Amino acid sequence: MTAPAAPAPDEVLVVDADRPRAPGPRPVVDVAVGVLFDRDGRFLLTTRPPGKAYAGHWEFPGGKVEPGETVEQALRRELQEEIGVTIGSAHPWRVLEADYPHARVRLHVCRVFDWRGELQMHEGQAFAWQTLPVTVTPVLPGTWPLLRWMAQEGGPETAQANA
């Protein structure tokens, strides 16, 4: 069975362009990212755990898609593993390609309105429920475009209506 074609990105971002990359073509790593809303229309940001690239930077929770997984399955697994919540539907929203010194990633950003469970930070992350403009710092470079898209699109009511 052939893998489904990769979706065209809505935007391509080069991060820290002055820092060296491995020479030659680099594989693109698929990442499932969740914009999780609470009942008050706030969204969740978490910090990148110690030991990872850009540790301590704020991002939307998520992680790499494993072979054979759909984006929704990957997001469900990652959110269970990392923050202890079980999600219902994940609504595909946008795709961002980010070229970092450590990796090239394709972020499949989904919106999640339906989830249950108590937040548990299993990897020692900090978390914050946020509205725009966000008050946490530093924000991961590859998270800024998502926040900009949210600002362009309006509040959570608009997000849910368009999901």
Ligand X SMILES: Nc1nc2c([nH]c(=O)n2[C@H]2C[C@H](O)[C@@H](COP(=O)(O)OP(=O)(O)OP(=O)(O)O)O2)c(=O)[nH]1
Residues at the interface with ligand X (CB under 6 A): 31, 33, 52-53, 59-64, 98, 100, 103, 105, 107, 140, 142-143, 146
| Residue 1 vs 71, nearer CB to ligand X | 71
| Residue 103 vs 163, nearer CB to ligand X | 103
CA distance 53 to 133: 25
CA distance 17 to 75: 29
| Residue 85 vs 143, nearer CB to ligand X | 143
| Residue 129 vs 161, nearer CB to ligand X | 129
Q: If residue 107 lies in a helix (H) or strand (E), which one and from where to where?
A: strand 104-112
Q: Is the peptide bond before 133 cis (omega within 30 degrees of 0)?
A: yes
| Residue 37 vs 143, nearer CB to ligand X | 143
Q: Which residue has the tokens 């030659």?
A: 24
What phi and psi values does residue 66 have, to the nearest 5 degrees? -85, 155
Q: Work out how close the CB of 141 gets to ligand X at its nearest, in angstroms, rounded to a whole number.
A: 7
CA distance 32 to 113: 16
Q: Work out how close the CB of 70 gets to ligand X at its nearest, in angstroms, rounded to a whole number.
A: 15
Which position's Cβ is nearest ligand X? Answer: 142
Q: Work out how close the CB of 154 gets to ligand X at its nearest, in angstroms, rounded to a whole number.
A: 20
CA distance 85 to 62: 12
Q: Which two tokens stand for residue 84?
A: 């202890």
- Looking at this protein, which amino acid is placed at residue 85? V
